[in-house]
Every structure is written in C-alpha cells, then in structure tokens.
C-alpha cells in the first residue's frame, strides 16, 4: 500500500479539500481525507467547534497514520538513494540533504496537525457536496457541448446562486433545452 494525499481546490467554490489514492490499487479510486478550508458558500455545512473542544480523535489517529507512513517513506527513499550512490561525493551530497528531508517531514506534520485539529476536518459530507457540485457543472457543460458541436469551453462560463443552483452562460446561439431539462439548471445566452 502506497497512499498518496492530494489537495484539491475545485473551480466551483473556494473550499480546499484532500483525498487519498493507493498507487498500488488505483481501482479503489479516491477516498476522502480531510476538509482543509470551507468557503463562505459551504460554511453552513461545517461542524462548528464545541465548547468542550472535543474532536473526532479516532478519525484523526487513522489519518495521522497516513502521514507517518508518508514521512517514513520519504526518509526510506532517501536512505535507499544514499545506499545506491557509488561515488563518495555523490553520497556526501545526498547525506547533506537529509536535513532537508527531515525539515520537509516536520512541515508536513505541522501542516496536517493544523488541518486535522479543525472541527470540520472530518466533514466528508462537505467533500461529497463540493464534488457533486463540481461534477454536475462538468457534466452539464459536456452535455451542452455534445448537443452543440460548434461550442467550445471558451463559449461557456458558469455561476451558482445563493442556493447553489447552477447557471451556464453561453456566448453563442445554442440549443439549450435538453441540457436544462436533463440537469434541472438554467442556461442563459449572453454577449
Ligand atoms: Zn465551497
């Protein structure tokens, strides 16, 4: 198992999230890791800090295990490289960068300690909502382009209203009804 954590900021809002992938088992797909930041639009979904400051420590412990494994892997790869180095000066150069690897690992640790300490860090429902919103937008744009082969991505922008209802803005004449009906959205001719 080689778990990688990827940070993701969608183009539909300003949330920042992360998910994991197992590079040795890609079929398993992306698995929610943490909510780093919640935008104003999704703030109402976020778990608020409790007075007692209680957090989901079991979930944090599981997630820290991924961080510890990543740190160990970074150091191990570095040590393997030192072992493989044939020329003494090459070995010395690598040994000199050990400090940087340790600093990097310490930064990763601090970074995720801060993220996982937030009350909404484990709010997978935010990840799902943001992901669904982003996918719907991508699928609706794809559908509109499929229906109107003369359109490209340059002809379509999007926005969400306060209720997060999607509107596509099209800068050319196009047949919009099928897309509006299929996705329950508004498509507006602009420009
Ligand atoms: Zn958001």
Q: What is the mean pLDDT of the chain?
A: 94
For residue 122, how far is its CA from the centre of ligand 1 (angstroms)? 15
**For residues 183 and 178, what is the distance between their CA atoms, to the nearest angstrom?**
9
Supply the pLDDT for residue 74.
92
Average pLDDT over residues 99-112: 95
Q: What would the two tokens of residue 129 be? A: 């909502």
Supply the pLDDT for residue 37.
97
For residue 110, how far is its CA from the centre of ligand 1 (angstroms)? 24
Identify whether residues 56 and 110 lie together within a single domain. Answer: yes
Q: What is the pTM of this model?
A: 0.88
For residue 76, how far is its CA from the centre of ligand 1 (angstroms)? 37
Asked which of 86, 101, 123 is the last residue of a domain, the reply is: 123
Domain extent at residue 152: 125-189
Identify whether residues 82 and 130 lie together within a single domain. Answer: no
For residue 133, how far is its CA from the centre of ligand 1 (angstroms)? 9
Asked which of 97, 123, 149 is the last residue of a domain, the reply is: 123
Summarised one tens digit per residue, pLDDT across range 118-148 is 999 999 999 999 999 999 999 999 999 999 9
Residue percentage of the chain with pLDDT more than 90: 88
Summarised one tens digit per residue, pLDDT across range 24-67 is 888 989 999 999 999 999 999 999 987 666 667 888 899 999 99
Summarised one tens digit per residue, pLDDT across range 174-189 is 999 999 999 999 999 9
Identify whether residues 90 and 165 lie together within a single domain. Answer: no
């Amino acid at each position: 198992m080689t778990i990688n954590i990827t940070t993701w900021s969608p183009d539909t809002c300003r949330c920042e999230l992360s998910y994991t992938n197992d590079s040795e088992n890609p079929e398993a797909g992306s698995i929610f890791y943490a909510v780093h930041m919640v935008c104003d639009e999704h703030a109402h979904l976020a778990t608020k800090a409790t007075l007692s400051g209680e957090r989901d420590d079991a979930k944090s412990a599981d997630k820290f295990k991924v961080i510890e494994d990543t740190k160990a892997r970074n150091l191990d790869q570095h040590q393997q490289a030192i072992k493989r180095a044939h020329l003494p000066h090459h070995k010395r150069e690598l040994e000199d960068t050990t400090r940087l690897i340790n600093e990097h690992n310490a930064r990763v640790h601090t970074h995720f300690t801060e993220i996982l300490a937030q009350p909404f860090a484990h709010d997978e429902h935010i990840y799902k909502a943001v992901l669904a919103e982003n996918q719907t937008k991508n699928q609706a744009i794809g559908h509109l382009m499929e229906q109107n082969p003369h359109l490209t991505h340059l002809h379509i922008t999007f926005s969400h209203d306060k209720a997060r209802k999607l509107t596509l803005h099209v800068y050319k004449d196009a047949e919009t009804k099928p897309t509006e009906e299929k996705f329950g959205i508004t498509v507006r001719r602009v420009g």
